[in-house]
Amino acid sequence: MVAYGGIDALVWVCRTSKNLTLHHLTTTVLAILAEKESIRPAIIIKWALPPLLSLIQLYASINHPKETSSDHSSAPSISSLSEDNAQNFALEILINCTHVLYQLSKAGILSQKEVIDEGVLESLLVLAAFDISLLKLASSGKQDGQTTDRINIIQSLAAKAISAISSQVSFQSSIIEVVQASGKLPCLLRSSNNEVRKYLAKAVAYLSLRNDKYKSSLLGGEGSRALISIIVRLPLDDLDKKTKSEDLLYYLATDTSDDADHPTTESSVDVAAISHACCALANFATNNESQLNLMLQPHLLRYICNVPAALPTHVEIHKHVARCLANLALYTYNILPTLLALGQSPHATVDITRHVVRAIDNLSSNVQLLSDDETELMGWKEKCQEIYPFITGILNTNAEQDNDTIKRAKSIIQKKIFEPAEKASITSSELTDTDISDDKENSSIKASDYTTKNERQDNLSDHSTKSSKSKSRSKRRN
């Protein structure tokens, strides 16, 4: 296929022919070939991408500022095909083209020039939100089951490709700019297609690993509302129906009164999408500007704390929630009970325990700032009494925990947020300066392929959060 010009011939037909049947046959062959690892580089080298993008523009209402080809400026020839058959062929051509883009994206061999300048990402964003109205050869506007299935396949393949492209660190900043310019991120995060929601949430989790100005821009506009909408769909019993309906309307941007009457059940929940969303929220919580944006959203902590309660057996999600709360380190709603429930759960892993202890350590630092208000300080000491057995239990079983967790547990005890009588078993003489470590994350445990790089950012946030709150407290005293 490569040595004897097979790829060149297919590309030439795609570029020059206006016949719908030929387009269908050639793109089908290219889609099959794209699954071969050895063929993928040849597809790029033989300049197959421009004609494929041109075909996408030919059969779907996608306008790119830089037209990839002028050969397909006129409508395709449908010869003797009926309108219904022409529509089905056109949808399958789009499936084939999207499948090729997905395979190339998954292989990580697309360059920034191809993804950004030639319009691959922009086309994928439109295809992920594809609707029958965008098909130029739509018959009478009717949409049967097969048509719906084909559209879902197009959307899902495009979303998977976007997720794969977003994992490429070298041009994430350009990806964020294109995503922001398109304005389609909120729509995709709220998509009725579960696969689209899942892979777009995963893409946001990848992109939220950045720690620069681009990171917070993802939450601009309706970005934060759309991301949080994924966890808002979970059932929540302790919120009245009216408030829940208002929140659903705010986050989902649609009339969802029926959803309030019939809340989502655990069996119908897309667990993967929720996991990716919680991971993204934990990543965003390492940035002060992003934190401010998130904390402005109604009942955010209530919905975050509801996730482990609604999904009690999903350890990976518990890990992300613990990490998110550790990064936010705020005294609102039921964070302490949620942290204790996560840490004391039979499903708790060493990684979850580490994040729970880190969250309590951050919270205990903030408790120390209340020393000028004896009444408020005593109130927090009462709330922290339930933490003491949990922390001492960790110290008593230190062989099962990593060094960072043990040092943070000792740090919590040393901060004297408990009554003196209750900490008699551990005296200050037992705690040396070497026991109180700087913030170091244990990098030996990986929750997922898109969170490991952010573990170091968690700890940088711990320092910045404590420093900013301390400065704020000092200004108030002055």
Amino acid found at 140: S
Q: Say whether pLDDT at 467 is over 70.
A: no
Q: How far is CA 246 from CA 21, 232, 241, 250, in A?
A: 50, 11, 9, 6
Q: Which CATH architecture has domain 1-63+82-182?
A: Alpha Horseshoe (1.25)
- Give pLDDT, residue 288: 78
pLDDT at position 301, please? 86
Confidence of residue 375 (pLDDT cuts 50, 70, 90): low
pLDDT of residue 79: 56
* Residue count of the chain: 478
Distance in angstroms (rounded) separating the CA atoms of residues 55 and 44: 16
Q: What is the mean pLDDT of residues 200-218?
A: 90
Per-residue confidence band for 224, with pLDDT thresholds at 50, 70 and 90: very high
- How buried is 66 (Cβ within 10 angstroms: 0-12 exposed, 13-18 middle, 19+ buried)? exposed
pLDDT for position 460? 41
- Is the model's pLDDT at 353 over the cut of 70? yes
- pLDDT single digits (tens) 134-163: 887 655 556 678 899 999 999 999 999 999
> What's residue 66's pLDDT?
47
Give the residue extent of every domain in the chain. 1-63+82-182, 194-255+268-328, 346-416
- Write out the DSSP string of 278-317: HHHHHHHTTSHHHHHHHHTSTTHHHHHHHHHHHSTT-HHH
DSSP-based three-state secondary structure for 266: helix
pLDDT, residue 463, reads 45
Band (452; pLDDT cuts 50, 70, 90) = very low
* C-alpha R_g of the chain: 26
pTM above 0.85, yes or no: no
Q: Which of 117-131, 307-321, 322-336, 401-415 has the lowest mean pLDDT?
A: 322-336
pLDDT computed for residue 24 by the predictor: 94
- Specify the pLDDT at position 4: 77
Amino acid sitting at position 437: S
Does residue 178 have a pLDDT over 90? yes
User: What's the burial of 408, exposed, middle or buried (CB within 10 Å: 0-12/13-18/19+)?
Assistant: buried
- Is the model's pLDDT at 354 over the cut of 50? yes
Which pLDDT score, from 0 to 100, does residue 398 have? 67
Q: What is residue 202's predicted lDDT score, i.e. its pLDDT?
A: 97
What confidence category does residue 76 fall into, taking pLDDT thresholds of 50, 70 and 90? low
In this structure, what token pair is assigned to residue 471? 């400065």
d(CA 130, CA 39): 28
**DSSP at 60:** B
- 190 pLDDT higher than 90: yes
Residue 389 clears pLDDT 90, i.e. is over it: no
Name the most confidently modeled range: 343-357, 406-420, 430-444, 458-472: 343-357
